[in-house]
């Protein structure tokens, strides 16, 4: 691992490592560093001794990542039956899993109840009925909408009043849901919220947590309900570019805990839980691309076209996300450049860059901070194979933990009627 700045905690490959991995495993290639992953998990565990720390596996549900997180003592937040099955395949005990989802099906609820997930987070009134039908005794948390609008991309804002997630507090739905759950005999143990992602300041998550704490006090006063768990979700941001300045994990946790403790006062002492995802894995990964065509249009910056694109990183197209891009082994004067993919779209991956003028076909680019939401959001658009994932072990060995799609696997689910 190389150091990339005084306050920069991102993993980056050395030049010789990048070339060796590209030659052995091909490109595009996701690369994760085991030592970095474990270090992030341990930093989080040390900073949050107040209760359950759960890895939001939607960020990266590669089986190797799930096993590492579980081995470091984290529970696993799963948002679907597929993510739950991934955790189980990774050897994570069901009781160490936390089931999420805003539209759970009967199949998901009954499967989760059958295997014995540790906790489930209930999103809506219809779901309350499903858990009753499943006759489930497992601990349940009500997901609440605290009415907090975070300063982040609108597509990853989830805690505001107008949201598809959870029971709104402001209009009384949350208290009504709690009353119904108690009357129906469900094992409600507390409350959950998640206000949004890529939060570079703890303000929104603190507000959300404080709203949960106030609601817990109101539930005690109105219904005599004693909350055993308050889960404030996740959302701490990471350093995608030099302009991003996320609060250090210990300071972030310190501020959040102080606000929760002050609000709860002496009336309640629940377990306090968090669900980091991106903050645990994003900075532990990079993506390697190989340069193909280089074009200079009549107007605008030069195009550097790589052998990947929005099928292996849809975030720039979805959210306008920015990343730091580093050429491998190419130096010299820079020229304004933009990196595009090879799909049948505009497919602009990275813009506003200055890259060496000598950068050309066959050279490698390393993109930092791609450990979260790249592999898990990858597709086969244009029938391009999804990339492989390599894990650099603590010993320095590189292990393939996710194979690149091959043509047989790509077409395995296709069925061609014989009479066509």
Which residue ranges make up each domain of the chain?
Answer: 34-282, 283-410
CATH number for the domain running over 34-282 = 3.20.20.10
Cβ atoms 216, 270 nearer than 8 A: yes
Report the SS3 class of residue 233. coil
Kindly report the CATH class assigned to 283-410: mainly beta
Q: How far apart are the two ends of the chain, measured CA to CA in Å?
A: 55
pLDDT of residue 101: 94
Q: Which of 97, 253, 344, 369 is catalytic?
A: 344
State the pTM of this model: 0.93
396, HSE (Cβ side, Cα atoms, 13 Å): 4
- The verdict on whether 344 is a catalytic residue reads yes
- Nearest in space to 208 (alpha carbons), one of 174, 183, 231, 179: 231
pLDDT of residue 149: 60
pLDDT of residue 158: 46
pLDDT of residue 148: 74
Q: What percent of the chain has pLDDT over 70?
A: 95
pLDDT of residue 161: 52
- Nearest in space to 234 (alpha carbons), one of 339, 342, 329, 98: 98
Domain 34-282 and domain 283-410 have a common topology: no
CA distances to 87, 108, 135, 268 from 113, in Å: 15, 9, 9, 29
In 35-184, the DSSP E strands lie at 54-56, 75-78, 97-99, 119-122, 140-145, 167-168
List of the chain residues with pLDDT < 50 = 1-6, 152-160
pLDDT of residue 264: 92
- Give residues with Cβ within 8 angstroms of 417, minimum separation 6: none
Helices (H), 26-94: 34-47, 63-71, 81-89
CA distances to 29, 102, 341, 355, 359 from 303, in Å: 21, 41, 10, 11, 11
pLDDT of residue 153: 40
């Amino acid at each position: 691992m190389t150091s990339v700045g005084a306050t920069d905690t991102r993993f980056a490959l050395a030049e010789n490592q990048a070339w060796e991995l590209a030659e052995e495993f091909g490109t595009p290639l996701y690369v994760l560093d085991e030592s970095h992953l474990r270090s992030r998990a341990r930093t989080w565990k040390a900073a949050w001794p107040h209760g359950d720390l759960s890895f939001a596996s939607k960020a990266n549900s590669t089986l190797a990542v799930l096993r590492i997180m579980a081995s470091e003592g984290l529970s696993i937040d799963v948002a679907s039956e597929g993510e739950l099955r991934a955790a189980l395949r990774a050897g994570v005990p069901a009781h160490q899993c936390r089931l999420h989802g805003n539209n759970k099906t009967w199949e998901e609820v009954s499967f989760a109840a059958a295997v014995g997930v540790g906790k489930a987070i209930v999103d809506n009134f219809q779901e309350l009925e499903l858990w009753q039908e499943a006759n489930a005794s497992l601990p349940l948390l009500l997901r609440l909408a605290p009415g907090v609008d975070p300063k982040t991309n609108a597509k990853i804002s989830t805690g505001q009043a107008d949201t598809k997630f959870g029971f709104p507090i402001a209009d009384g739905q949350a208290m009504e849901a709690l009353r119904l759950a108690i009357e129906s005999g469900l094992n409600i143990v507390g409350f959950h919220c998640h206000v949004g992602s890529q939060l570079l300041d703890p303000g929104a998550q603190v507000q959300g947590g404080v709203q949960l704490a106030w609601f817990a006090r109101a539930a005690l006063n109105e219904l005599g309900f004693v909350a055993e768990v308050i889960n404030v979700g996740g959302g701490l941001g990471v350093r995608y570019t030099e302009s991003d300045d996320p609060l250090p994990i210990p300071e972030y946790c310190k501020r959040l805990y102080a606000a929760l403790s002050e609000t709860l006062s002496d009336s309640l002492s629940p377990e306090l839980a968090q669900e980091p995802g991106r903050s645990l894995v994003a900075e532990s990964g990079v993506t390697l691309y190989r340069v193909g065509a280089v074009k200079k249009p009549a107007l605008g910056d030069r195009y550097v076209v790589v052998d990947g694109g929005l099928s292996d990183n849809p975030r720039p197209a979805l959210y306008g996300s920015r990343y730091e891009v580093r050429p491998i082994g190419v130096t010299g004067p820079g020229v304004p450049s933009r990196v595009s993919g090879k799909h049948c779209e505009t497919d602009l991956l990275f813009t506003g860059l200055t890259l060496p003028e000598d950068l050309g076909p066959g050279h490698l680019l390393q993109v930092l901070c791609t450990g979260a939401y790249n592999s898990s959001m990858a597709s086969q658009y244009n029938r391009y194979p999804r990339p492989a994932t390599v894990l650099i072990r603590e010993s320095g060995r590189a292990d393939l933990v996710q194979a690149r799609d091959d043509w047989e696997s790509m077409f395995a689910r296709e069925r061609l009627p014989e009479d066509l």
